[in-house]
Amino acid sequence: MVNHMFLEDVNNLISDDKWLIFQNEYNTEVNSRYETLFTLTNGYMGVRGTFEEGSDGERSGNFIAGIFDKSDAQVREIVNAQNWLRIKLYVEGEELSLDKCQLIEFKRILDMKKGILFRSMLIKDSKDRITRIEGYRFISRSDLHRSAIKLFVTPVNYSGVVGIESIIDGTVLNSADSPKYRVKHLKVANNSSLSKNGVYLETATVDDDTRIATGSTVRIYHHEDEEKNNVAKFKRFLPLGERSIEYFEFDGIESKTVVIDKFVITYTSRDVRKDLLKTTVEKELFAFAGEGIDKELKRHIEVYEELWSVADINIEGDEEADKALRFNIFHLMSSANENDPLVSIAAKALHGEGYKGHVFWDTEIFMLPFFIYVYPQAARTLLMYRYNMLDAARKNATLNGYKGAQYPWESADTGEEETPKWGFDYKGNPVRIWTGDLEHHITADIAFAVWEYFRATEDIEFMLNYGAEIIFETARFWVSRCEYVKELDRYEINNVIGPDEFHEHVDNNAYTNYLAKWNIKKGLELINMLKEKYHEHYHAISNKICLTNEEIEKWKKVKEKIYIPYEKSKKLIEQFEGYFDKKDYVIDKFDENNMPIWPEGLI
């Protein structure tokens, strides 16, 4: 595509329209929407689509997979880490603010083919000086620790001193827009300059002292200068409390474009030892800046080319649906880190604080099928997260009086139950949240995902070493969860919440009971297969988890007699016992987002 708002070398990077999501006007009321839509992530780190210079009402977010903290929150939640995006521009001391200056032109573009966020604007300050600012940023899929911003700054109708603040901001909060729930999860551990150039901010989580280390350095040069010689005539480092700031000045010349390259490196104590963090970041930052942005960007784009060569789907005749599907694929495939078996994909991925960064059944039932058939290695890694949390699931079962493994409804980095016990309804009244106590179907959902992965990939090594143990322990849970009703000669699963989540404390939810039955059935099939073909593996697993023949006989009895509510006369599966006796409510009112308004009398 050709866009007159962009310099030629930026324009040549931008893909065809079918790959692009546009924002054509700046409006603070829709900031948060575009921040989510324009989130860039590589599975290791996700950064919301806020502006480099900041804006009114923004909800900035930098989320690193696996970094959780409780502090003053209800439960462990994903930590909003220090914000390294900040680049503020000043003309003769006046800040070029989106909210105080006049925007003559404005555009942002998410390029889904390449995982790049482009921007362009023409901004007029209070003294009628016009500045063109454009450029792009990316979070590398090639080297997960590298991120970069490239801005082109052109004084259109003036010459004068231009100031640049490059900031790593550690003042970030979780739930920053909610006075009732704001939480500070980070303490600054180190705010310093780097000996080879740049700044460094290291933070520590409150509970576990998990370290997050960010280093950045800036290059400023004339656009036409192939050698990229520095044009900054003044520089100052300011360790201002929880902010690490580099300030530069250069002589802005009318119609002459200056390029600002910001290189960023992120590591945590999940990656390297705490005492090696600063030296690691400095070494990596020096190498990145020495190499330049273009080479890393090329490798980053090549990774996306490879991903899209497998994942792209074309819908002919419906451009909107075609782009919508591509949008969903882009964010989904950007969210997996196939190299980290201790993290999974949260319900909101790394795109925001929604659901506190917790992992639900959404991953196994709704996301995993995509990865199984498109990126099976990523699917395997996501299932390894569940295997690595198996001991915590065993502990959860024991705490609740059951056998085997009971997976939590909401999971974070420990695998323990993280569902808050209380929330608030639409009127601010406290409401007991029962999903963590009663929505047990997730345990069978995970077993189902393990089997689906194996069915599609025939990855017997995974099944023998990891998957079988999950299926056996979840089957064992369901057998202990079932209650025998002698007068009806059947097993029931009472007092649960099914997948609709609105009907609480119901008996014999069809989905739950059916999958429990399936889970036990697959466990028995797997036992037979292992005994027949992989005898030593079966002995190893059965010895490890103390699985006896007597217990297996109990499994068979329970499996045969699990009750599935079904009305034979109408040939209908009843969602749960008594569902057909419930009063029907008709939804006929919708809000401005086309979401249903609850009918009168329902709450």
Enumerate the active-site residues: 501
Placement of tokens 């801005």 in the chain: 151
Structure tokens at 376: 């099976």
Could you identify the residue written with the tokens 């860039």?
40
Question: Residue 56, Cβ neighbours under 10 Å: how many?
Answer: 11
Token pair of 298 as six digits: 């090329």
Using alpha carbons, select from 18, 32, 9, 27 the residue that is nearest to residue 110: 18
Q: What are 593's two structure tokens?
A: 């987002």
* SS3 state of residue 374: helix
User: Among candidates 391, 425, 424, 423, which has minimal Cα distance to 408?
Assistant: 391
Question: Which residues touch 82 (CB under 8 Å, ≥6 apart)?
Answer: 62, 168, 169, 170, 172, 186, 201, 203, 212, 214
Alpha-carbon dihedral 10, 12, 13, 17, rounded to 10 degrees:
110
Cα separation of 78 and 528, whole Å?
A: 42
Spatial CB neighbours of 214, under 8 Å, sequence gap ≥ 6: 81, 82, 84, 168, 200, 201, 202, 264, 265, 266, 281
Q: Closest by alpha carbon to 547, among 522, 583, 523?
A: 523
